[in-house]
Chains A and B, each alone.
Chain A
Amino acid sequence: MSCDEHHCVTCSDEAVPLEVLEVRGATALCAQDVEVMTELVGPVEAGDVLLVHAGVALVRVER
């Protein structure tokens, strides 16, 4: 996850929407080779959009 001008992980109140490309157990591989822990949102599948903060998916964004 990049720490660019839009989404900085230090901010704590800003999170990044990422689309799941592949699932490996409790880890989702998202765009830009970002690995995301998915324990807090339950099973995910490719195509899901997750709100990710500091490497953890906090919520699945409604389609």
Chain B
Amino acid sequence: MRFVDEFRDAELGRALAAEILATVEPGRHYKVMEVCGGHTHTIYKYGVDDMLPENVELVHGPGCPVCVIPMGRVDDGIAVALRPEVIFTCFGDMMRVPGGAGSLLDAKAEGADVRMVYSPLDALRLARENPDREVVFLAVGFETTAPSTALTLMRAKAERIENFFVYCNHVTIVPPLRALLQSPDLRLDGFIGPGHVSTVVGARPFEFLPRDYGKPVVISGFEPLDLLQSVHMVLRQLADGRCEVENQYKRVVPYEGNPQALAVLAEVFELRPHFEWRGLGFISHSGLRLSERYAEFDAELRYHVPGVRVADPKACQCGEVLKGVIKPWECKVFGTACTPERPIGTCMVSSEGACAAYYNYGRFARERAVV
């Protein structure tokens, strides 16, 4: 496939690995955080970390939107889904995210009309086809997904559809990065920046990383060679004493992002004063809600949403995994009580969650190493 196969070339990968080895200082330990869950998935799937020197450690960041949804928000969604007039729609992974009293899949088993969709447009189509029901879309995701929700709402408004509502859980990427950097128990040398979020917001919003925190950042694509090259670029900056935003993913990411998408987001959404993140707590101005212009579509205004707060299960250490403080296998329930089939924590639900990615791919390499 064009734009994919050429970025999986094993020979080029080995050449990049040799360049990385030649760039690192022996005796220095490097910690580089890949922010995005898509990167985590690629790293484990293709064994990118196995090609790095032992003193280069990849730390998995909070960029999996399914993983950062707190249990209380799931419970609030279930409360809406249980209403008899509602068809509740969401992406597939969200159905399995555990709340305090089960998941949306459990609610479906109990009779709630919960349906999986591939895009918010599918949910809008359901609303057109079911005028006697109320269709609610559970919107999750960073700036990559939010434009899809926004365009769908603009179409709903233009068509004067009155039985379509959005339960908005969209989040933004910069505030959690700031929160992470203020965490005293995390020392990082640099960042691999999120490629597809950057197609929307551009590279400029990440300039605070070098400017305010002295950390280099390289916006990266999602194929194995993209990641190897991005790791090399971060290490090269460190070796040269440079600290800046670089864009490895120029074939897709314009430095200024997509102005039309940003305009659509500004039209439909506004920042919440604060939003709760799993493992990171409440972060100011990190979540989106519908703007007043679109208030008629806001499920949180339409229905009574309990607004409950639920503490994470004590055994689950998703918070520490999301902050990069521990590796997935260091969690007490990893692979035993918590598996992709029966997840306790959100990081085990999405294929992009660090725990699920590691469970599906990485553990075999580790098991070999331990033996």
Complex: A40 Cα to B196 Cα, angstroms: 14
User: How many chain-A residues does the 8 Å CB contact rule pick out?
Assistant: 28
Sampled A-B contacts (12; CB under 8 Å): A1-B119, A3-B118, A5-B351, A8-B352, A9-B119, A10-B91, A39-B264, A40-B264, A54-B118, A56-B147, A59-B253, A61-B252
User: Shortest Cβ distance from A35 into chain B, in angstroms?
Assistant: 8
Do A10 and B261 contact each other (CB < 8 Å), given the known contacts A54-B145, A61-B252?
no
Q: Which of B65, B252, B264 contacts A51 (CB 8 A)?
A: B252
User: How many chain-B residues does the 8 Å CB contact rule pick out?
Assistant: 50
Asked if B37 contacts A13 (CB within 8 A), the reply is: yes
Asked if B148 contacts A53 (CB within 8 A), the reply is: yes
B94 and chain A: residue at smallest CB distance: A10
**Highest count of chain A CB atoms <10 Å: which of B64, B65, B147:** B147
| Interface stretch of the complex, out of B20-28, B79-87, B136-144, B327-335 | B136-144
Question: A20 within 8 Å of B by Cβ?
Answer: no
Please indicate the chain B residues that have their CB under 8 angstroms from the CB of A30 in the complex. none
Q: Which of A14, A19, A41, A55 contacts B119 (CB 8 A)?
A: A55
Question: B268 within 8 Å of A by Cβ?
Answer: no
Question: A33 within 8 Å of B by Cβ?
Answer: no
Question: B194 within 8 Å of A by Cβ?
Answer: yes
Please indicate the chain B residues that have their CB under 8 angstroms from the CB of A13 in the complex. 36-39, 63-64, 142, 144, 194-197, 352
B259 and chain A: residue at smallest CB distance: A40
- B 130-156 to A, binary, CB cutoff 8 A, 1 in contact else 0: 000000000011101101100100000
- B 166-177 to A, binary, CB cutoff 8 A, 1 in contact else 0: 000000000000
Q: Which 7 A-B pairs have the closest CB atoms?
A: A55-B119, A12-B141, A14-B38, A54-B148, A10-B91, A10-B93, A13-B36
Please indicate the chain B residues that have their CB under 8 angstroms from the CB of A10 in the complex. 65-66, 91-94, 140-141, 350, 352
Please indicate the chain A residues that have their CB under 8 angstroms from the CB of B195 in the complex. 13
User: Shortest Cβ distance from B41 into chain A, in angstroms?
Assistant: 7
Asked if A37 contacts B352 (CB within 8 A), the reply is: no
Asked if A11 contacts B64 (CB within 8 A), the reply is: yes
Complex: A5 Cα to B200 Cα, angstroms: 24
Please indicate the chain A residues that have their CB under 8 angstroms from the CB of B200 in the complex. 58
Q: Which of A5, A42, A49, A53 contacts B196 (CB 8 A)?
A: A53
Complex: A17 Cα to B261 Cα, angstroms: 18
Q: Which of A19, A42, A53 contacts B144 (CB 8 A)?
A: A53
Give residues of chain B (238-253) contacting chain A, Cβ–Cβ below 8 Å.
250-253
Question: B271 within 8 Å of A by Cβ?
Answer: no
Question: B1 within 8 Å of A by Cβ?
Answer: yes
